[in-house]
Structure 1
Amino acid sequence: MLVSALCAMLGVAPVWVSCLLFAVAGYALLWLFSPLTTIMIATLTAIAVLSFVKPHAGAGSAVIAFVALTANNMQNNLTASNIVGMIIICLCPLSLGFGLNLLLARRQAAAALKQRLDREHTARHLHDTISNDLAYMILRIDQASHRDPPFDQNQYQRQLADLRAIAATALDHTHQAIRQLEHTDGPSTHIVQSDGETDKQVEQQRKRLDDIIQSQRQRLKSLGFQGDDILGTFDQPLTDDVLDLLEGMLNELYANIAKHADPNVWYAVTVSFDQRHVIVSASDALKDAGIQLGLGSGLERYRAIIESVSGTFAVTDDSGIWSAEITFPLCRRL
């Protein structure tokens, strides 16, 4: 009857209340048959729970339980085997509670690390897309403000259309960042692809990279720049981490050229691949040769990421000529 009543409460009572009632009922039934056994089981359960919730309190309760067992057995012949047995009895629930506490702490630490990495990724995405889009728009507006307004209405409309396209791109990147913040990654699975699927994925990834380069090239061209933009070929699909890093770094390199380089001097950006590495090179001339240009916050973040996976990020600034040589592994998780 007691078990039936408890089962009936599962539908109306909270889960923790039902579990507590089941535990109390179980100990009550044990008490009817063996009070000493019930006390022992309840003590061991308390040690395990305290060790899980508060490890120091659990250790203290285990010591108290050992002292109580020792005092209870003092009237009998207390042998070394009895002492070892009592130690094991107290250590088992203590170890169980400690182990569960450590497991929970590791899971919480892993969740906190993932959250921090997601935030850093989102911050990098915001910097590399939205802020660069807005910076380019400011450059175009500044360029237009220093020139006489065009008498040709069609040319004026084209300028407005260009600025509107930049704003639309920034808005689209904003929506992407919002979706990224709302998205919860599920468990990743490895899917074996056929040769045809592999070639298709390689072509899609190369097109994504080429679209970024051509878009940035067009932006620089509208600001009066001329240069070389070279994208090499790769045989195997890039991992999502590598592709994401490469896309963001290209956007940042081109944004730096637009902000700091001299449009009257040729620039160059090349991306090549070998069997194990991605190699990115960039060079341009500074607007003012007397200014020493560092990396800035954007590229500095990329340097930290690349060096953390055993990559290299070498920058030289010689007589106003700025260049960067960047190498990072193809198969490392970033």
Structure 2
Amino acid sequence: MRLFRPRTAAEGGLADGRPHPLLTVVAVLIAVANLVDTGNLLMNGWFSLDDPRYALMGVCSLAGTACLVVATPFIGRTPYRAAHVVCGIWLVMCCVPASLFTSSWTLMLNVLLAIAVTAHGNVLAGQIAFDLCVLTPLVTGSIADVVHPDYLMVVLCAFIMVCLNAVMAVIVAASALRRRERDQWERDQRLRRDQVVHQLHDDVANRLSYVLLRFQRDERDDRDGRDGGRPDRDQEMVQDVRDALDSTRRAVHVLSGNEGADAAGPGVGDPADPSGASGGSVCDETSWGALRALVTAESARLERIGCNGTVVMPQSVPTGLGRADLTMAASFLKECFANIAKHADPERGYALGVSGRAEGIVVSLADTPKRAGAHGADRDRPAEGASTGRGLAYYRDFAERRGGSLTIEEDAGNWSMTALFPC
């Protein structure tokens, strides 16, 4: 049960399988004390095998002492498991109270060390171990008429221990709840950081890929004697390179642990910016219009490298998307346009549809690859030296983790994809 689970090394507990010098020294000294005191008892005529009344008691006592002497030093290497074994041996010895109460008093040191180590790993488990190791010998000893305690005091002690156990259970449960909340928060932070860094990486890769493709397009135009508007082209590509460099700066900023509210930057974040959609925003006409502006801008960029296509997208917010988060949808659309530029045959064009329903944003894309196998699994890898991001695999995992889907089909040289990003 998680309630009794000892702390791990990462949580400040003792690591198993690694020697702990202080624990090892203490455990070995206690084991030596067990052997020395038991030897003194034997030398002083502790029991005689000639007397059958005491032979069994002595053999059981010696066997229990030997087990404790062997198990205790292991506390120095596997603290929690060895401590549990020591407590278990003590409880077994309690089943023969006559031998337990005539054994060496130093065996109590073994048990106290085991209880302390158990409590270090889990306070509630340590408290219960203390209760059992103290009350069990009193109960079995009273039944066997070996000890004669004040029964009222025993009952009062048991009641106090039960109350302490209840208090400790509440404390441990509250601590476990806080630990789970902290772990969940850390996982969310790591996921958010990874998401931002991946988006920034895609932004850099896709911008530089576009610059390369634009250079290749203009090189062909120059050979054919066509001037494609060189000043405007150069200004656009310079701006793309600057934005890519800015994204690398933000990526380093995030990786260094200094992520701010604008860490994602304009390439990924603000819905009011035509290049992105806001994380956590309400899907209103403004943010939907920003998404349309992104699609328009990206399709215009494709036209400038000679790739024309058809885009279908509602003018107004689709019904059921009143509280949709467009962040990942915007990033995914940018990845789709980057994939079209790198893999689609510009002579055949492409068709892109963006719609919405109650479940989320639906994106459909169809085109004809430049070469066989350029889509599908190969779409996650560079094409002809072009710089690429993570491809579609990341977005498929993202959608599936949230109950969405991303399916790809390729038949007779035609490639199609349908994705659902939950709201």
TM-score range, shorter chain: 0.5 to 0.7
Match of 1:321 in 2: 414
Shift of 1:255: 0.5
Does residue 124 of structure 2 align to residue 64 of structure 1?
no
Partner of 2:272: none
**Residue 107 (structure 1) aligns with:** 181
- When residues 253 and 169 of structure 1 are mapped into structure 2, their CA distance, relative to the original with a 3 A threshold, is same
1:129 to 162, 182, 203: 203
Q: Distance in 2 between matches of 1:149 and 1:243?
A: 42
Match of 1:231 in 2: 313
- Residue 272 to residue 113, structure 1, CA distance change in 2 (3 Å): same
Query: Please, which of 397, 408, 412 is the counterpart of residue 304 of structure 1?
Result: 397
Deviates more, 1:228-237 or 1:77-86: 77-86
Question: Which residue matches 2:288?
Answer: 206
Q: Distance in 2 between matches of 1:319 and 1:153?
A: 37
Cα drift, residue 265 of structure 1: 0.6
Aligned match of 1:248: 331
Give the match for residue 302 of structure 2.
Answer: 220
Distance 1:223 1:259, change over 3 A: same
Deviation at 1:246, TM superposition (A): 0.8
Of 300-309 and 60-69, deviating more is: 60-69
Candidates 204, 208, 230, aligned match of 1:156: 230
Task: Give 1:112 deviation, angstroms.
Answer: 2.2
Shift of 1:202: 1.7
Instruction: Tell me the CA shift for residue 159 of structure 1.
Output: 2.3
**Sequence identity percentage:** 24
Question: Which structure is higher in RCO with an 8 Å CA cutoff and minimum separation 6?
Answer: 1
**What displacement does 1:54 show?**
2.9
In structure 2, the partner of 1:259 is 342
1:183-198 to 2 correspondence within 5 Å? Answer: 183=259
Residue type matched to 2:409 in 1?
Answer: T
SS of the aligned residue for 2:149 comes to coil
CA distance in structure 2 between the partners assigned to 1:154 and 1:260 by the alignment: 22
Structure (1/2) with the larger helix percentage: 1
Judged with a 3 Å threshold, the aligned counterparts in structure 2 of structure 1 residues 74 and 136 are, in CA distance, closer, same or farther, namely farther
Q: Does 1:165 align with 2:258?
A: no
Q: Which residue of 2 aligns with 1:280?
A: 363
**C-alpha deviations, 1:126-172, integer Å up to 9, x for none?**
23322111111121223334453798999332221121121233245
Corresponding residue number in structure 2 for 1:8: none
Question: Aligned equivalents of 1:238 and 1:50: distance in 2?
Answer: 55
Q: Distance in 2 between matches of 1:207 and 1:172?
A: 25
The answer to whether 1:139 aligns with 2:213 is yes
Question: Contact conserved, 1:124 with 1:298, CA < 8 A, in 2?
Answer: no
What is the root-mean-square deviation in Å for CA atoms of aligned residues?
3.5
Cα distance, 1:321 vs structure 2: 1.0
Supply the distance in 2 between the matched residues of 1:161 and 1:62 (Cα, whole angstroms). 74
Alpha-carbon distance change, 230 to 176 in structure 1, aligned in 2, over 3 angstroms:
farther
Is 2:121 aligned against 1:54? yes
Give 1:207 shift.
1.8
Counterpart position of 1:40: none
SS state of the match for residue 148, structure 1? helix
Structure 2, unaligned runs of 5 or more: 1-115, 139-146, 262-281, 381-389
Match of 1:95 in 2: 169
Alignment partner, residue 98 of structure 2: none
Letter paired with 2:334: N
Whole-angstrom distance in 2 between the partners of 1:74 and 1:133: 86
Report the Cα distance in structure 1 between the residues aligned to 2:415 and 2:158, rounded to whole angstroms: 72
Deviation at 1:257, TM superposition (A): 0.4
Give deviations 1:14-49, integer Å, cap 9, x for gaps.
Answer: xxxxxxxxxxxxxxxxxxxxxxxxxxxxxxxxxxx9
Q: Is the 8 A contact 2:201 2:248 kept in 1?
A: no
Counterpart AA for 1:182: N
Give 1:51 deviation, angstroms: 8.3
2: CA distance between counterparts of 1:154 and 1:228?
22
Structure 1's unaligned 5+ residue stretches are: 1-48, 186-199
Return 252-261 or 105-114, whichever deviates more. Answer: 105-114
Residue 98 of structure 1 and its aligned partner are, at CA, apart by 2.0
Displacement of 1:305 in angstroms is 1.5
> 2:376 touches 2:408 (CA, 8 Å); kept in 1?
no
Between the two proteins, the alignment pairs up a number of residues equal to 266
- Write the distance in 2 (CA, Å) between the matches of 1:65 and 1:290: 69
Q: Cα–Cα, structure 1 residues 270 and 53, in superposed 2: closer, same or farther, change >3 Å? A: farther
Distance 1:64 1:249, change over 3 A: same
TM-score normalized by the length of structure 2: 0.54
